[in-house]
Structure 1
């Protein structure tokens, strides 16, 4: 099964305009968010092709400048999955398309490798996504964001078959307990990566935006609203810190990890 990683990147983000071109300082110097995301994709084993998918000339020129292959997509794309659907239509010779969102440079290679393996192991599944069990420190980070009125990471709940029941920017399930920093919690962080079979992407583009997707601003809910299960593949942190760049306040948080060589 051939695998393509597409990295959707748009300049006109509502919450953080120009986010793909934001500079992040790490142990290896300053690099943009999109370059660090591309480097994370290139580190994944068993991948046949990596492309940056954008509608913006500035992102295209910058990405080509550091050696990335770029696929131009329509400015009408409302989210990364729609952008990946356009990539799949243009580059149709891959069995699995991975959406590695351009705001997650801390994504370890094994998250994507385990995700692809999970989809391969479940031939009945059309879509899969990773989930990471929060320890107390990660859960406190989520709760701190919510108390401050920031839209932080996404949480997921799933059934006994590991089919996603719901994804939310609120912290679900509710728990009133206080957890030690290194203690396992019942809350799962949804890692913003997806693996699709081509038919699932084709179908996605034909469906209208549903009310839950509109309310949460979460593209994967369109699959659930149209009866397509999402396989949740649990991944292990292995001591690595994982966080997406959702808000300007996340920049120093991510830079601390990059400067530590994480």
Structure 2
């Protein structure tokens, strides 16, 4: 089954305008933009047949082409990364699976995407798949601290016995009500913002109107659930790696620290 990875990136982010072009610094002082680091993460995935950056902004296009990425220009009317990936799939037909590796996730390990694609291949009932990572106490406490400070940290997921999603939220779910040590496993799963779609489900997505849950949470994957489409949650292993998305300016230092830890591991 052929696999296309699309990296949606837009300049006009509500929370962090210009985010794809923000520089992230290595310990030796080397700087690379967020979009370049996300592209490098995609290029490390085994089994991908093609990797493209999907944007509607000429500044992002120029930056991406400068470091060697293939760019597909998409409409400025796209409301989220999934709609942008749907436009890419329409321009580049013929792939069996389209992966959305979002442009603010440079810490995505390649095996997250590889496991995701394998999970979708193994579950013919699922139309979309997305990875989830069991939180240790350190990650959960970070989520809770962000919420107390009024910041949106990570997204959490709950799913049933079939591993099909029940709900995704920017709140921390399920409620636990007890403290955890940094290394303790918890019942909370961090939703990793990567998706693999079957082409038919991806093509249908932009046609559906947004539902109340998607509007309230601001989470694009809820549109699949609100339209009765099964979303498979694939549990992945961190293998000692920390994972975080760049959602707010405050996340830059956190991600730089995690990049440094990866290089010294």
Q: Is TM (by shorter chain) over 0.5? A: yes
The offset of 1:27, in angstroms, is: 4.2
Contact 1:125–1:231 (Cα < 8 Å) also in 2: yes
The whole-number CA distance in structure 2 between the counterparts of 1:34 and 1:214 is: 26
Aligned residue for 2:40?
39
Aligned match of 2:16: 16
Q: Structure 1 length as normaliser, TM-score?
A: 0.99
Aligned pairs (5 A) from 1:30-69: 30-69=31-70
Please name the residue that 1:184 is paired with: 185
Q: Distance in 2 between matches of 1:5 and 1:261?
A: 23
Deviation at 1:93, TM superposition (A): 1.5
How many residues are treated as equivalent by the alignment? 262
Q: Report deviation, 1:260.
A: 2.5
Alpha-carbon distance in 2 for matches of 1:132, 1:197: 22
Are 2:263 and 1:257 equivalent residues in the alignment? no
Deviation at 1:257, TM superposition (A): 1.2
**RMSD after superposition:** 0.8
SS in 2 for 1:200: helix
Query: Shift of residue 234 of structure 1?
Result: 0.2
Tell me the distance in 2 between the aligned counterparts of 1:61 and 1:227: 39
TM-score (norm: length of structure 2) = 0.98
Instruction: Report the CA distance between 1:152 and its aligned residue.
Output: 1.0
- The separation in 1 between residues aligned to 2:230 and 2:126, in whole angstroms, is 7
Q: How far apart in 1 are the matches of 2:106 and 2:146?
A: 20
Shift of 1:250: 0.5
Q: Distance in 2 between matches of 1:233 and 1:217?
A: 22
Q: Distance in 1 between matches of 2:140 and 2:125?
A: 32
**What is the correspondence of 1:166-245 to structure 2 with a 5 Å cutoff?**
166-245=167-246
- Cα distance between partner residues in 1 of 2:249 and 2:31: 16
Could you tell me how far 1:41 is from its partner in structure 2? 0.1
The residue that corresponds to 1:7 in the other structure is 7
Structure 2 unaligned spans of 5+: none
- 2:190 counterpart SS class: strand
The 3-state SS of whatever aligns with 1:205 is helix
User: Contact 1:27–1:261 (CA<8 Å) still a contact in 2?
Assistant: no
Does the 8 Å contact 2:125/2:230 carry over to 1?
no
Question: Is residue 24–residue 30 contact of structure 1 (8 Å, CA) maintained in 2?
Answer: yes
**Does 2:97 correspond to 1:96?**
yes
Q: Give the corresponding residue for 1:145.
A: 146
Q: Is the 8 A contact 2:241 2:262 kept in 1?
A: no
Displacement of 1:261 after TM fit? 3.0
Q: Is the 2:24–2:34 Cα contact (8 Å) retained in structure 1?
A: yes
